[in-house]
Structure 1
């Protein structure tokens, strides 16, 4: 039978773990989005000869498991003078991992804007910043939003891996409860429902943003 008392006796620990999960996800995703934009800007500014640096970063973080990246920084970092707490590694790990994916999403969105519109903007007398703000950015964002939301959902679920480096987030708490009580159903069901609620919230926010930024396309059609 489902033992509700097991959950009520651990309510404080579960809520603390959930709050830490939300904080790490929000911070990591925000930094990842900012990092993705910075990477894209550097790619445009570095020139063809130095673009392999961008490609190397993206290839490294997208081509290796997130778990391995965490292990290398948290357990291997002290040998290289990188002494960070588990939460710092988790936060910056999510940010660096997400930035590689977000940068590519932004790149494809910006490159999807027809070049003819850029030429038309120049003919109308818009400078580079005005063209970016009024022509490129709205169209690129409307194309980027669905994959950005999808990648954000993936990062929220990937945050469960942070339990491997002893961060006391929700997965760690659920594992501890299961180990101490020898009961798997209750803590892991709560864990699954919590992540489902978080990803559902992200999806709903993303859907509203997508509707807001694509209304002009619907009217135009």
Structure 2
């Protein structure tokens, strides 16, 4: 008759915790990127607009967000923001994984303002003749921005945007301070439960390194496939 070893069950449970943390970290990265990129594009357009009020508003948002540490953003959105909501909205938030939701909000804003500067550099790289040609063909201002300006600006900004994605991936580790069960949270949980510090934090370190290198490799391959050419 086989002997039941509870240590095997515990080892499997610890492995599951670490994998769950890795999956949540990837989900936080993906969700934050999906929100941060359009936010960055809007802010970049505002900062590049001809109207002074739009430029001032865009610059104010960028400077206000990027000059506050990410940790402060996380603590604000998790502890202060829910108290500003109506009771029904607050209860809805608390019923739907508030740690992950607030982490996504903070990471999206923080990454979005940094992406805005990269996209704005891409906008500056688009030759004015491209916009003049679009207007001469009868395209309106919004159509010119959507069909001509943004596609070229985003293509030029891909390498720095991928670098920002690496930063976003690493920044998900800060979400552990508000109790989001991402990879660092689960590694600390395994360490506390089993005292297997080396295994837990080696897993987390290698996971962060592997994903970061994969994103960096994607940036390198993109630059080789689409080298930046002078306008």
**TM-score after normalising by structure 2:** 0.80
1:167 to 177, 180, 183: 180
Inter-partner Cα distance in structure 1 for 2:12 and 2:192: 17
Note if contact 1:142-1:210 (Cα within 8 Å) is conserved in structure 2.
no
What is the total number of aligned residue pairs between the two structures?
213
Note if contact 1:16-1:169 (Cα within 8 Å) is conserved in structure 2.
yes
Closer, same or farther in 2 for the Cα pair 1:78/1:97, shift >3 Å?
A: same
Residue-by-residue CA offset, 1:24-65 (whole Å, 9 max, x unaligned): 110101110021122234445682024222111111111011
Q: CA deviation at 1:162?
A: 0.5
Inter-partner Cα distance in structure 1 for 2:183 and 2:157: 30
* Aligned position for 2:63: 59
- Correspondences of 1:146-157 after superposition (within 5 Å): 146-157=159-170
Question: What runs of 5+ residues in structure 2 fail to find an aligned partner?
Answer: 1-7
Q: CA deviation at 1:188?
A: 0.7
* Aligned position for 1:141: 154
**TM-score after normalising by structure 1:** 0.83
- Correspondences of 1:182-221 after superposition (within 5 Å): 182-212=195-225, 214=226, 217=229
Q: CA deviation at 1:17?
A: 1.1
Q: CA RMSD in A?
A: 2.8
Residue-by-residue CA offset, 1:78-106 (whole Å, 9 max, x unaligned): 33237341111011111111111111111
Residue-by-residue CA offset, 1:161-196 (whole Å, 9 max, x unaligned): 001100111110001111222332111111010111
Closer, same or farther in 2 for the Cα pair 1:89/1:65, shift >3 Å?
A: same
Inter-partner Cα distance in structure 1 for 2:228 and 2:70: 38
- Correspondences of 1:26-105 after superposition (within 5 Å): 26-43=30-47, 47-81=51-85, 83=90, 84=93, 85-105=98-118
Inter-partner Cα distance in structure 1 for 2:228 and 2:35: 29
SS, match of residue 52 in structure 2: coil
Note if contact 1:171-1:191 (Cα within 8 Å) is conserved in structure 2.
yes
Q: Say yes or no: does 1:127 pair with 2:139.
A: yes
- Correspondences of 1:106-121 after superposition (within 5 Å): 106-121=119-134
Q: Say yes or no: does 1:177 pair with 2:190.
A: yes
* Aligned position for 1:14: 18
Q: CA deviation at 1:143?
A: 2.4
Q: CA deviation at 1:108?
A: 1.4
